[in-house]
Amino acid sequence: MRRITVFGSTGSIGVNTLDLIARRPGAFQVVALSGGRNIKLLAEQARAFRAEVAVTAHEDCLPALREALAGTGIEATAGKAALIEAALRPADWIMSAIVGAAGLAPGFAALSQGTTLALANKESLVTAGPLLLAEAAKHNARLLPVDSEHSAVFQALVGEEMAAVERIIITASGGAFRDWPIEKLAHATVAQASTHPNWAMGQRITIDSASFFNKALELIETKEYFGVRPEQIEVLVHPESLVHALVGFKDGALMAHLGAPDMRHAIGYALNWPERAELPVTRLDLAKIGALTFRAPDEDRFPALRLAREVMAMGGTAGAAFNAAKEAALDAFIGEEIGFLAMSRLVEAVLTEMTARHGLGKPLDSLDMVMDTDATARALARSLVPTVRT
C-alpha cells in the first residue's frame, strides 16, 4: 500500500484526489488530510479514509475537529506547525493542494523526506521555484506537476530531450469574460467572475482565470518547472479547453495533449506516474466536437500576462511579490472593495512601489526571504487599495 497525504483535501483538487483514491480500495493508505474551516467535510474524509491525522489550518477550529473525530482514534491537530508536522510523517506521495502562498511551507517541508510531491499549488513555484527545485534535488524528492497545462507539457515531453524543445504553448480557456468588452469588465461582479465556462474549480482560481492572473502564474510556473526561457513560452486562447498545452520542437513538430476538462486527468497522471491507470474521465469524441479554435490573448483587456513577463525578467523575489499582491487584490475584489479591472492596477502599483523602495528581483536565499517579500507586498497592497481606481 502506498502511503498518501493530501494537503487541501477539502478543496476542489483535494476532493478530486480523494475520489481517485477511493476508486482503488486497498491500494493506498491515507496518512494526513488537511483543510480549513470546513470541519464537517474534513472529519468525514478522515473517517472515510481512516487517516492517521486530520489537520485544520485554523487553531480556533480545533475543538470542533476534535469533537467530530472523538472515539475514532484519528488525531486532530491545527495550525501552521501542525501542517509541517504532518508533512514530515512518512508518505510515498503527497498532494500539495492548499490554495495560495500558504501552500508553500508544507510542500517544502515534505520534500525533506525525499517523497514524491504532486504540485497543484502553483504558487509554490511562482514564489519560490529555484528554492523548491534545489530542495527536491538535495533530498532526491520528485516534483510532479498537477496543473492541467503543466501535466500536459510533462506528458508531451516523455522520451524527449529538453535541448530539442523550442517552445512551450499553454492554452487558456479565456475564463468567464473572454468575450466581454473592456467597458463591461469594469463592472464585473464577484458572482460573474466566479463562474467558469469549462472547468469546475475553487473560487479563487476561477476568478484568477477570468482576470488571466491564473495564466500569468502559469507562465512563471512553466519557466520554473521546465527551466525554459520566458520568450520560449506562449499563451494561446482556446475556448474549448480540450488541448491543454503543446510542446514545439526544433524540427517544427508540435506535440499536443488533449483531454476532457477534468482535473482528475492531471491528478490521476501524477498519482499513478510513471504508469498510466484507467481514469473515470470522459473520452473525447473528436468527430462530434468537430472543430477546435485558437486565438491570441488580448493583453489590453487582461494586463496580467504582461505583468508576469516583467516578473519573469526580474526573477528572484519578484515572483513572491507578484503572487502576494495578486492574492491581496483578489481579497479586495472578493470583499467588493475594488472592481475587477482594479486588480491588475493594484498589482502593478505594488510591483512599481516595491521596485522603487526595496529593489525587486534579488536572488532568493531562503524561505524566510520569500515569506518576508510576501508580507511586505501584501501590506503594501492593502495600503494601496484606496488609491486604485475601482
The residue ranges that bind ligand NAD (CB under 6 A) are: 8, 10-14, 35-36, 57, 97-100, 102-103, 120-123, 147, 199, 201-202, 204-205, 263
- Minimum CB separation of residue 145 from ligand NAD in Å reads 9
End-to-end CA gap in the chain? 53
Beta carbon of residue 243, minimum distance to Mg ion (angstroms, whole number): 13
Q: What does 199 interact with, of ligand NAD, Mg ion, none (CB < 5 to 8 A by kind)?
A: ligand NAD
Asked whether the beta carbons of 1 and 28 are under 8 A apart, the reply is yes
Classify burial at 225, counting beta carbons within 10 Å of its beta carbon; exposed 0-12, middle 13-18, buried 19 or more.
Answer: buried
Shortest reach from residue 166's CB to ligand NAD, in Å: 25
Residue 17 or residue 344: which is nearer to ligand NAD going by CB? Answer: 17
For 167, the enclosing helix (H) or strand (E) is: strand 165-172
H helix or E strand, kind and range, residue 257: strand 254-258
14 binds, among Mg ion, ligand NAD, none (CB under 5 to 8 A by kind): ligand NAD
CA 143/CA 216 separation, integer angstroms: 21
Taking CB within 5 to 8 Å according to partner kind, which of Mg ion, ligand NAD, none is near residue 79? none
* Residue 262 interacts with, from Mg ion, ligand NAD, none (CB under 5-8 Å by kind): none
Concatenating the DSSP letter of every residue in 28-39 gives: EEEEEEEESS-H
Distance (Å, whole) CA 302 – CA 213: 8
Residue 222 or 317: the one with the smaller Cβ distance to Mg ion is: 222
Which letter does DSSP use for residue 165 in this model? E
Q: Which is nearer to ligand NAD, 99 or 380 (CB)?
A: 99
Cβ-proximal residue to ligand NAD, closest one = 11
**Count of beta carbons in the 10 Å neighbourhood of residue 59:** 12
**DSSP β-ladder status, 165-172 and 243-249:** antiparallel
Q: Does 353 bind Mg ion (CB under 5 A)?
A: no
| Chain residues 147-166 in contact with Mg ion, contact rule CB under 5 A | 147-149
With CB under 5 to 8 Å by kind, the binding choice for 361 among ligand NAD, Mg ion, none is none
Q: Please, which contacts does 272-275 make with residues 24 or more away whose CB atoms are closer than 8 Å? A: 273/116, 273/144
Residue whose Cβ sits closest to Mg ion: 147
Footprint of Mg ion (CB under 5 A): 147-149
